[in-house]
Amino acid sequence: NAGVTQTPKFQVLKTGQSMTLQCAQDMNHNSMYWYRQDPGMGLRLIYYSASEGTTDKGEVPNGYNVSRLNKREFSLRLESAAPSQTSVYFCASTGETYEQYFGPGTRLTVT
């Protein structure tokens, strides 16, 4: 089992560029999440998907969109990147026990 995988691991964007962060889990979990982690701010929830076919906003959704492609995959899209979106992005998934498992993260810099 790979658990939760994320691609890419690093990315540098110019302001205004777009990109999609990919996430996949092989644990047959229903719920998936996207967080950003910034120094002094902890982990903040961007969007989540309680089950295949549903998505909901979290704490900081502005500037992002998500797609739950199937039960395994949950992608995060930045349509027009801004320097304020420089952060480390984590994908996570949860099964019936509410134990949440994280991916290795994507380190994004927007210049």
Partner 1 sequence: GQQLNQSPQSMFIQEGEDVSMNCTSSSIFNTWLWYKQEPGEGPVLLIALYKAGELTSNGRLTAQFGITRKDSFLNISASIPSDVGIYFCAGRRLGTSYGKLTFGQGTILTVHP
Closest to partner 1 by CB, 92 vs 110, is 92
Query: What is the token pair recorded at 57?
Result: 């906003």
Find the shortest distance in angstroms from Cβ 101 to partner 1. 6
State the DSSP string of the chain. ---EEEE-SEEEE-TT--EEEEEEE-S--SEEEEEEEETTTEEEEEEEESSTT--EE-S--TTEEEEE-SSSBEEEEESS--GGG-EEEEEEEE-TT--EEE---EEEEE-
- Point out which span in 14-22, 68-76, 78-86, 91-99 binds partner 1 (CB under 8 A): 91-99
- Point out which span in 19-27, 39-47, 63-71, 73-81 binds partner 1 (CB under 8 A): 39-47
Binding of partner 1 at residue 45 (CB under 8 A)? yes
Q: Which residues bind partner 1 (CB under 8 A)?
A: 4, 31, 33, 40, 42-45, 48, 50, 58-59, 90, 94, 97-105
